[in-house]
């Protein structure tokens, strides 16, 4: 999501991106998951690595929207312009 699904993010000078993980299969027991985002080998977008934790269950199979740990709005605009 861009700017938490703001109606018109083009009018904002401060842009943010957020993401969500969704478990698409059923689990027999709670599945504890730790994950993080890192810079890609050919990417020039600067990301501050952050470790996230979540416990997936059959009733709770998607995480909340979490901010993409980009350094600033300029990096966010680069990522949006690249359409990655």
- Digit-coded pLDDT (tens) for 49-77: 889 999 999 899 999 998 888 877 777 77
Helices (H) and strands (E) in the chain, counts: 1, 4
Consecutive H or E run containing 79: helix 73-82
- Alpha-helical runs (H) found in the chain: 73-82
Q: Residue 84: what pLDDT? A: 56
Contact yes or no for 37/60 (Cβ under 8 A): no
Examine the pLDDT at 36 and tell me if it is beyond 90: no
Average pLDDT, the chain: 81
At which residue do the structure tokens 């690249």 appear?
Answer: 82
pTM of the model: 0.70
Q: Residue 10: what pLDDT? A: 61
Other C-beta atoms lying within 10 Å of the C-beta of residue 70: 20
At which residue do the structure tokens 């478990």 appear?
Answer: 23
């Amino acid at each position: 999501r861009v700017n938490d699904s703001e109606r018109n993010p083009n009018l904002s000078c401060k842009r943010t991106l957020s993401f969500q993980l969704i478990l698409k299969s059923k689990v027999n027991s709670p599945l504890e998951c730790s994950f993080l985002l890192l810079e890609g080998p050919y990417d020039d977008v600067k990301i501050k690595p952050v470790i996230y934790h979540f416990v997936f269950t059959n009733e709770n199979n998607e995480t909340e929207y979490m901010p993409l740990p980009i350094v600033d709005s300029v990096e966010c605009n680069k990522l949006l312009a690249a359409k990655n």
